[in-house]
Amino acid sequence: MALVACDQSEETAAPEPTPEPEAALRYVPVAMTALPGWSADKLSEALPAWRHSCRKILNLPAAKALGPGVGTAVDWHASCETIGALSDDDTPGLRGFLETHFAALQVTSIPDEPGLFTGYFEPILEASRERSEAYSEPIYGLPQDHVTVRLGKFDPALKGKSLVGRVQNGQLLPYRNRDEIDQGAIASQAEVLFWARDALDVFILQVQGSGIAQMPDGTRQRIGFAGHNGHAYGSLGRWLIAEGELSPNRAAWEDIRNWLESNPEKARSALAVNPRYIFFRELDGDGPLGAAGVPLVAERSMAVDTEHMPLNVPVWLDAEHPEGSQRLQRLMLAQDVGSAIKGIVRGDFYWGTGRAALDKAGRMKSTGSYYILVPKALIPAS
């Protein structure tokens, strides 16, 4: 939400342009066996991700709605019991179960537009508990003056909407932006969890939303999303391209790093192009936590736009592979969200942890489509 004050200097305002109509969501039934690459995927590799989501669903109230078109938690209980009973490598059993008990619905928009699928990963960055000359970039926890206002508590029509800010002199104000925070504006308000070596590593950590801090003695600590400053995401790569500093086909993270190292006097102002700032918390357990509240599984978890795709449901993906040699045609679970993941056919493919995952995620900007898989009992009889 935005509050905008407008000073109209002319007596007669020009007519406002007619807004473009928003795209509409449409489901197109597809035979399960006709899904692209259906017979080739090793479906059992998705079982760990699906079991994580099933544990979440089974702990929800039975009548809890999971999202438009996918019923309530109780509608998934029988499927989750079957998923839990399958052996880890039982691809034939899972394939037979899905073909018998599930239906595939292709998610499309009206007007029809090609889907966009990007990639993300969990970075590993060098960090220390203590500040030093070598470790001087803060990774902050959630500040004490950070306030989130759930607007649905004030107006049911605003359910799901929120404002992030800070209270000063009895007023709710926007929270500090990246440039202000980098200049020390919250030093007295937020605990520093770790001190990192490199400013770009911290920036990448914030874009990805989670990561692993590796200490000088080799020990590691996983950290995850605790909150944000309420500002919109700004793409550093796109800005460098628009400024003519990088070419469109040479704007991956390593290209950005090389530019920053070659232009140290411009580095801080360039990073401030993204005013959004992420705060973190320490995590225990396997895998980074997605927005669905479950650990993500490399190459089987995906971030989606929850305006159009509910969390914790299975999805069939058909998209270009970033390496170009094959297609990504596989069973995935919708388990995360992202501030830049907006649209009806839009997804972010989780590649895993470390440098190899970065290489794939950084190159992925793929067209494609996806299909939501739901129990047949939820499909109205024709």
Cis preceding-peptide flag for 19 (omega within 30 of 0): no
Per-residue model confidence (pLDDT) at position 362: 85
Q: Would residue 13 count as lying in a domain?
A: no
Domain coverage including residue 152:
121-283
Contact between residue 107 and residue 345 where contact means Cβ atoms under 8 Å apart: yes
Q: Would residue 294 count as lying in a domain?
A: no
pLDDT-derived band at 22, boundaries 50, 70, 90: low
Q: Give percent above pLDDT 70 in the chain.
A: 93
Q: Would residue 309 count as lying in a domain?
A: yes
Tokens (6 digits) for 357:
């995952």
Q: What is the CATH number of the domain that holds 339?
A: 2.40.40.10
Question: Other C-beta atoms within 10 Å of 317: how many?
Answer: 25
326 vs 40: CA distance, rounded Å: 12
Contact between residue 348 and residue 361 where contact means Cβ atoms under 8 Å apart: no
What global pTM score does this model have? 0.80
- Please write down the long-range contacts of 157-162, taking CB distance under 8 Å and 24 or more positions apart: 161/1
Which of 283, 310, 339 corresponds to the end of one domain?
283
Which of 254, 283, 312 corresponds to the end of one domain?
283
pLDDT-derived band at 68, boundaries 50, 70, 90: confident
Per-residue model confidence (pLDDT) at position 213: 97
Q: Would residue 178 count as lying in a domain?
A: yes
Per-residue model confidence (pLDDT) at position 144: 96
CA dihedral sign, ordered 193, 199, 205, 211: negative
pLDDT-derived band at 110, boundaries 50, 70, 90: confident
Nearest by Cα to 290 from 276, 278, 304: 304
Q: Quote the strand ranges of the chain, DSSP E.
A: 24-30, 102-110, 115-122, 124-128, 137-140, 147-150, 162-168, 171-174, 192-196, 210-214, 220-228, 278-283, 301-304, 314-320, 327-336, 346-353, 365-375
138 and 42, same structural domain?
A: no
255 and 138, same structural domain?
A: yes
CB proximity list for 78: less than 8 A, separation 6 or greater: 375
Contact between residue 327 and residue 370 where contact means Cβ atoms under 8 Å apart: no
Measure the N-to-C terminal CA separation of the chain; round to a whole number of Å.
Answer: 40
199 and 108, same structural domain?
A: no
Q: What is the CATH number of the domain that holds 133?
A: 2.40.240.50
Q: Would residue 196 count as lying in a domain?
A: yes
223 vs 206: CA distance, rounded Å: 11
Query: Is residue 1 over pLDDT 70?
Result: no
Convert the pLDDT of each residue in 127-159 to its tens digit.
Answer: 999 999 999 999 999 999 999 999 999 999 998
Query: Is residue 3 over pLDDT 70?
Result: no
163 and 188, same structural domain?
A: yes
Look up residue 343 and give its DSSP letter.
S
Query: Is residue 19 over pLDDT 50?
Result: no
Convert the pLDDT of each residue in 227-240 to its tens digit.
Answer: 999 999 999 999 99
317 and 211, same structural domain?
A: no
pLDDT-derived band at 160, boundaries 50, 70, 90: confident
CB proximity list for 137: less than 8 A, separation 6 or greater: 195, 196, 197, 198, 199, 201, 202
Edge-to-edge strand order for the sheet containing 162-168? 147-150, 162-168, 171-174
Question: Other C-beta atoms within 10 Å of 97: how many?
Answer: 17
137 vs 199: CA distance, rounded Å: 6
* Average pLDDT score, the chain: 90
131 and 111, same structural domain?
A: no
Query: Is residue 15 over pLDDT 60?
Result: no
Tokens (6 digits) for 348:
């972010």
Q: Give percent above pLDDT 90 in the chain.
A: 79
Query: Is residue 241 over pLDDT 50?
Result: yes
Query: Is residue 10 over pLDDT 60?
Result: no
Q: Would residue 75 count as lying in a domain?
A: yes
Contact between residue 345 and residue 115 where contact means Cβ atoms under 8 Å apart: yes
Q: Which residue has the higher pLDDT, 115 or 362?
A: 115
Query: Is residue 325 over pLDDT 80?
Result: no
Per-residue model confidence (pLDDT) at position 381: 58
Convert the pLDDT of each residue in 195-227 to its tens digit.
Answer: 999 999 999 999 988 999 999 999 999 999 999
339 and 194, same structural domain?
A: no
The helix or strand, by DSSP H or E, that contains position 98, with its residue range, turns out to be helix 91-101
Convert the pLDDT of each residue in 246-273 to its tens digit.
Answer: 998 888 888 999 999 999 999 999 999 9
Instruction: Tell the residue number behind the tokens 């939303």, with chain if given.
Output: 209
Q: Would residue 358 count as lying in a domain?
A: no
Query: Is residue 112 over pLDDT 50?
Result: yes
Q: How many domains does the chain have?
A: 2
Convert the pLDDT of each residue in 338-381 to its tens digit.
Answer: 878 999 999 999 999 988 898 899 889 999 999 999 999 998 75
Rounded to the nearest 10 degrees, what angle do helices 253-262 and 355-363 cross at?
Answer: 100
